[in-house]
């Protein structure tokens, strides 16, 4: 069971593609968010996704209409609603108002829901994909020891666990535990079961930021 969260616009095509491409099934929940009062074209898109779900025996999509007032009121209202739905979330904000799409992303992060986010450029094949763990890693404080591990990988991409243990004078077990958490956060990855460690693009951003602070080259 998963929950789909969409920003509702004038067309239902992107929602149908997301449901199809991520293998939606009859146990999944579907929530659409739109500004209140809902526009006629958006209502037709809602009816279109209702028809699609009915034909495939998916759950009836729920519609949340949000009054466009203070931004944090919008976030609060969306957050309150999505707390009622189970993880994981698949969030696609390719349609609808940018304000609603941004508020959906902020709301999902605010309530700490496990989620995958998708944004597709209208009329193009370009798609952005990220997970909430990656965003949280980017804005969260990383412990000194984990940062030391990252900076060593930053200086020597492909460094092995034994080389890290030697350079840092730390036990393999301690380093492995840290690296498992860093891999789960999408900051580092390993090539092969016993291969060396590398920084992901997210890890490179974090280390570049830290290296500028510390004036490390």
pLDDT for position 121: 75
pLDDT for position 212: 62
To 10 degrees, the CA torsion angle through 82, 85, 87, 90?
Answer: -60
Choose one of 132, 165, 190: the last residue of a domain.
132
Do 66 and 161 fall into the same domain?
no
Tell me 159's DSSP state. B
pLDDT for position 74: 94
CA angle 133, 35, 65 (to 5 degrees): 85
- CATH number of the domain that residue 147 is part of: 1.10.10.10
Do 20 and 117 fall into the same domain?
yes
Per residue in 106-165, pLDDT tens? 899 888 888 999 998 766 677 788 877 766 666 567 888 999 999 999 999 999 999 999
Per residue in 34-84, pLDDT tens? 999 999 999 999 999 999 999 999 999 999 999 998 999 999 999 999 999
Q: Which residues pair with 130 in a beta bridge?
A: 117
pLDDT for position 45: 97
Domain that holds residue 166: 141-214
Choose one of 113, 132, 151: the last residue of a domain.
132
pTM for the whole structure: 0.70
Q: How far is CA 150 from the centre of its chain?
A: 22
pLDDT for position 68: 93
Do 60 and 122 fall into the same domain?
yes
Do 23 and 75 fall into the same domain?
yes
Q: Is the pLDDT of residue 217 over 60?
A: no
Do 180 and 120 fall into the same domain?
no
Which residues make Cβ contacts (< 8 Å) with residue 166, sequence separation at least 6? none
pLDDT for position 134: 67
pLDDT for position 184: 87
The CA-atom distances, in angstroms, between 127 and each of 80, 81, 187 are: 28, 27, 21
Q: What percent of the chain shows pLDDT beyond 70?
A: 90
Do 116 and 162 fall into the same domain?
no
The structural domain count of the chain equals 2
Per residue in 74-88, pLDDT tens? 999 999 999 999 999
Q: Is the pLDDT of residue 105 over 60?
A: yes
Do 94 and 56 fall into the same domain?
yes
Lowest-confidence pick of 30-34, 150-154, 189-193: 189-193
Do 110 and 160 fall into the same domain?
no
Choose one of 86, 111, 132: the last residue of a domain.
132
Do 165 and 73 fall into the same domain?
no
């Amino acid at each position: 069971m998963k929950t789909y969260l969409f920003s509702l616009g004038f067309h239902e095509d992107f929602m149908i593609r997301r449901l199809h491409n991520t293998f939606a099934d009859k146990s999944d929940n579907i929530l659409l968010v739109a500004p209140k009062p809902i526009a006629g074209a958006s209502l037709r898109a809602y009816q279109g996704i209702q028809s699609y779900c009915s034909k495939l025996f998916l759950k009836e999509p729920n519609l949340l209409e949000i009054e466009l007032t203070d931004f944090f009121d919008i976030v609060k209202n969306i957050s309150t609603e999505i707390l009622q739905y189970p993880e994981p979330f698949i969030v696609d904000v390719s349609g609808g108002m940018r304000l609603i799409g941004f508020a959906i992303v902020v709301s999902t992060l605010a309530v700490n829901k496990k989620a995958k986010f998708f944004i597709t450029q209208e009329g193009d094949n370009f798609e952005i994909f990220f997970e909430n763990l990656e965003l949280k890693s980017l804005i969260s404080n990383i412990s000194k020891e984990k940062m030391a591990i990252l900076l060593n990988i930053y200086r020597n991409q492909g460094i092995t666990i034994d080389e890290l243990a030697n350079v840092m004078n730390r036990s393999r077990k301690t380093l492995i535990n840290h690296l498992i958490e860093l891999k789960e956060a999408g900051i580092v990855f390993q090539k092969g079961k016993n291969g060396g460690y590398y920084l992901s693009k997210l890890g490179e951003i974090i280390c570049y930021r830290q290296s500028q602070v510390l004036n490390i080259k």
